[in-house]
Amino acid sequence: MIGPYASDVLPMRVDLQALYPRLIHLRLDTVFVVDRDNQIVFISDACPSVDTRKFTHRGTTMHDPESTLLDSWQHNARAWIDAVRSGAIESRRQVTDQAILLTILGRQPGRVLDLGCGEGWLLRALDDRGIESVGVDGDRALVEAARAAGSAEVHLASYAQLADTQVYVGKGYDLVCANFALLHQDIIPLLAAMNELLVQGGALVIQTLHPWSVAGGDYQDGWREESFAGFAGDWQPMPWYFRTLASWLNALDMAGLRLVSLQEPQHPQSAVPQSLLMVAERP
């Protein structure tokens, strides 16, 4: 299959030399051949510019990490609500919750959209400070929990629906925030859609895992897995997409946003940052 959404299907016998000009024209980063048994084989000689060392799934079944990510949130929603509301996540309690809240308040927004709002803790914190806030999340259980806790306007929508403007969540926001909520691979269409919801000069605030802290010796974009080891409750492992710092900055630029601030929230007793916090404006 060829194309960003695997929409072009090749016959079983492929002339790689004849195929090469087509690959160059499409400007693809990665090319796979998928056989009828859903087995994948990487075409290294058809796309020699790609470092094939990072592809270790030759001959194994190809799973869809995007679908697995959504499934894991459905399974983990209750445990996540309990963890957030009980303060069980130390890094959030000590550093990251306060970091994003102070960054938002520093912009003095009148109206905020919380992208991937989860159970709504940030919505409630902003509401307590007199800031009009709207939430959106792709998991029904999390949306219902946010509503039940007092958040008046919380929408249920997937990121794909938001990127395609299939669900209306309002517009004219002074600020859109995404707090550890951008775990998918292709986020540029979503960021571009969020850019369109901002007023001119409005800001997108993103807090995410710091790539230098979680790279684990493998500093290149790709899918990783969170096992939730050490967390109490019933958790299902969750895939998430790791980005280098350069990839984050490039994504913002390609979405039409201009980086104005980059912070690295860190606990005084920690040797590494707890997060990466970026502020980008709509020009």
Provide the H-helix boundaries in the chain: 16-26, 65-85, 90-91, 97-106, 121-128, 140-148, 159-163, 188-197, 211-214, 245-254
What are the pLDDT digits (tens) for 81-95? 999 999 999 999 999
As a whole number of angstroms, the longest Cα–Cα distance in the chain is: 63
pLDDT value of position 230 = 87
Give the mean pLDDT of 203-223. 97
Give the mean pLDDT of 11-39. 46
Look at residue 15 and tell me whether its pLDDT is greater than 90: no
Contact by Cβ (8 Å): 237, 227? yes
Q: Does this model's pTM top 0.85?
A: no
What strands lie across the sheet with 198-208, from one edge to the other?
154-156, 132-137, 111-115, 173-179, 198-208, 276-281, 258-263
Separation CA 150–CA 133 (nearest Å)? 12
44, two tokens: 């290294």
9, two tokens: 């299907």
What domains are there in the chain, each with its CATH number? 1-62 (no CATH), 65-281 (3.40.50.150)
Is the alpha carbon torsion for 29, 35, 40, 45 positive or negative?
negative
